[in-house]
Structures are given as C-alpha cells and as structure tokens.
C-alpha cells in the first residue's frame, strides 16, 4: 500500500519535473531561431536546419510550414525571425529578401499520358479550361482533369504569374492543399494534370517539357526551362545576428550543394 503510493508520488514528481524542464533545459539553453513559411521550401529548410543544429551548440533552428503568405505575416508580426517565401515578393511587401535557391515548377501528368511537352500557351489554355480534352493536344481521347493549389499558395502564385498571366484558373480545377496531395492525385488519375515544385516530383509522375525544355536543374540554370521561381528567406529590415549565422550557412557552398542534390538549383 505504502510502497504503491510512494511509487505513484515519485512517478508524478518525475512527470512534473520533465514538464517543467521542457522549455528551459532543452539542449543546453540554445537560443531558438524560428523559420516559418512556404511548404515548398519547408522540407529543404528542415534538412538544412537539422544539419546546422548538429554542428554547433549555440542556436536551435526550428522550421515550420504554413505557407508563403503566412511566413511573411509571421515575420511582420515578429512571431518568426525568418520567413520562407516561394514566390517573388509583391510590391507592398517591404522586406529584405535573400534568395537561397531557385526551384522549377514542373507540370506533371500521369505516366501513361502520351503528351510529352507543351507550349506555355497550351498550359494556359488547359488551366483556364479552354482545352477540355487531351485529344486537342495530340493525347488520348480523355477529358482533362485540372489540379491546382489553394489560393495563397506560393506555388500557385508563381504558376499564375509565370503561366496564366491575366487568365483565371478554371473553376472546375480540383484544389489540393500540398505538393504531396497533388502528386497523389496525378499519380493515380490518367486524365489529370497538375503543377508542383520540381524538387518534390519524385517517382511515378511524368514531368512535361515546357517550350521544348526538359524540367532539369541544368535547364533551370541555363534559363531554357521557363517555369522558375525563387526560394526566398525573408526578414524585416536587417537580419538579426542569429538569423545572419543560419543564412550564411544556407548560402555556403556546402549547404548549396546539399540543396542541389535534392533537386534544387543554386541561388545566383
């Protein structure tokens, strides 16, 4: 009886102690640097943060998603020191932007689709709903199923800017909330066409040639692949000393090499 109670009290004390410890004694009192924003940049930033956290014991870089616009808002409100933004800044967004890499936007279809490449005008016609059947572009006799990203997504905004111009994306387009969800749909639907970060395409999808250029890192570098957007780190005014350290690491040759191996293209 007594011993059971003692054990219970000890367990409780231990639990309380560990809760009390959570914010304070994590990893020898490192300072936290929060990096928040685009879900397209997030996996790459997480990889870099893990590497960076492992090699020094001063800073603890924490990466969170939420979207480009959310990242910018977080920086504005001071919730995060660094925002991640996967599109060019709008004129009203007055921030210091540091380009950490470039990323192509791949236009992806089901592997069985016989269409191999499209002109920008074709992609625009598809996504605005003017072309409703793959036959019109030399493909199989199948209705076109458009897959787009949600309003406010950096990938969507970059796609609209690079491809759509003044045209609207069709109302019929299915809306998915992440690169992964787009890939999942396109992978299993022979009629689908979507767009996503080139670095995240992976296996099981067919990326179309755009204006005759394959979506490869090389073609992004030499400028022949037209759908390219910047990956930006955004700070308010000057970066803080902590932010500066992490940014310097991200821009170092080694980190840039890591990004390159993951399918991105070096910052200019």
Partner 1 sequence: MKLDKFIRVVLLLVALSGVSGLALMTAFIFKEGLPLMVRLGVADFIFSSQWYPSEGQFGIAPMIVGSLAVTAGAMVISLVFGLGCAILLTQFCPPRLATGVIKPCIELLAGIPSVVYGFVGVTILVPFIRDYLGGPGLSVLASSIVLGVMVLPTVTSISADALRAVPRSYREGSIALGATEWQTTHMVMLKAAMSGIVAAVILGMGRAVGETMAVIMVAGNPLAMPDSLLSPVRTLTSNIALEMSYAAGDHRKALFATGVTLFVIIMILNTIALAVSRRRARRAGL
Contact residues for partner 1, defined by CB under 8 A:
66-70, 73, 145, 150-153, 168, 171-177, 181, 184-185, 188-189, 191-192
Cβ nearer to partner 1, comparing 70 with 249: 70
Q: Where are the alpha helices (DSSP H) in 103-203?
A: 120-127, 154-159, 179-188
Nearer to partner 1, 148 or 219 (CB): 148
Q: How long is the chain?
A: 268
Q: Which is nearer to partner 1, 43 or 117 (CB)?
A: 43
CA distances from 193 to 45, 83, 207, 258 (A): 27, 30, 10, 30
Q: How far is the CB of 76 from partner 1 (least distance, A)?
A: 9
Nearest Cα residue to 159 out of 138, 134, 179? 179
Query: Shortest distance, CB of residue 82 to partner 1, whole angstroms?
Result: 17
Tell me the closest approach of the beta carbon of residue 89 to partner 1, in angstroms. 14
Give Cα separations from 99 to 56, 96, 130, 212, 256 (angstroms). Answer: 24, 10, 35, 27, 11
C-alpha dist (Å) from residue 3 to 6, 12, 14, 87, 181? 5, 14, 16, 62, 53
Task: Pick the closer one to partner 1 by CB: 168 or 261.
Answer: 168
CA distances from 92 to 3, 72, 126 (A): 67, 12, 31
Q: How far is the CB of 127 from partner 1 (least distance, A)?
A: 13
Give me the least distance between CB of 157 and partner 1, in Å please. 8
Smallest distance, Å, CB 3 to partner 1?
Answer: 33
Nearer residue to partner 1 within complex by CB, 115 or 191: 191
The CA–CA distances, whole Å, from 159 to 63, 71, 127, 148 equal 24, 19, 10, 10
Return the number of the residue (152 or 165) whose C-beta is nearest partner 1: 152
């Amino acid at each position: 009886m007594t011993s059971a109670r003692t054990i219970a009290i000890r367990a409780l004390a231990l639990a309380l102690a560990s809760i009390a410890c959570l914010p304070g004694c994590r990893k020898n009192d490192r300072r936290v640097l929060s990096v928040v924003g685009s879900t397209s940049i997030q996996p790459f930033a997480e990889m870099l943060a893990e590497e960076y956290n492992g090699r020094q014991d001063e800073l603890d870089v924490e990466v969170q998603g939420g979207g480009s616009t959310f990242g910018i808002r977080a920086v504005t409100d001071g919730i995060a020191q660094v925002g991640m933004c996967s599109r060019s800044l709008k004129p009203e967004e007055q921030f210091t932007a540091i380009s950490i890499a470039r990323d192509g936007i791949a236009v992806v279809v089901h592997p069985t689709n016989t269409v191999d490449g499209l002109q920008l005008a074709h992609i625009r016609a598809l996504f605005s709903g003017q072309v409703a059947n793959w036959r019109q572009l030399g493909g199989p006799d199948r209705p076109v199923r458009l897959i787009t990203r949600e309003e406010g997504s950096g990938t969507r905004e970059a796609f609209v800017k690079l491809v759509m111009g003044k045209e609207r994306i069709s109302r019929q387009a299915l809306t998915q909330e992440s690169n992964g969800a787009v890939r999942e749909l396109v992978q299993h639907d022979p009629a689908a066409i979507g767009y996503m970060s080139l670095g995240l395409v992976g296996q099981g999808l067919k990326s179309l040639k755009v204006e005759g250029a394959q979506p490869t890192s090389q073609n992004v570098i030499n400028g022949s692949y037209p759908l390219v957007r910047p990956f930006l780190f955004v700070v308010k005014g000057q970066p803080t000393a902590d932010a500066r350290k992490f940014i310097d690491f991200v821009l170092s040759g080694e980190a840039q090499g890591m990004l390159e191996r993951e399918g991105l293209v070096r910052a200019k």
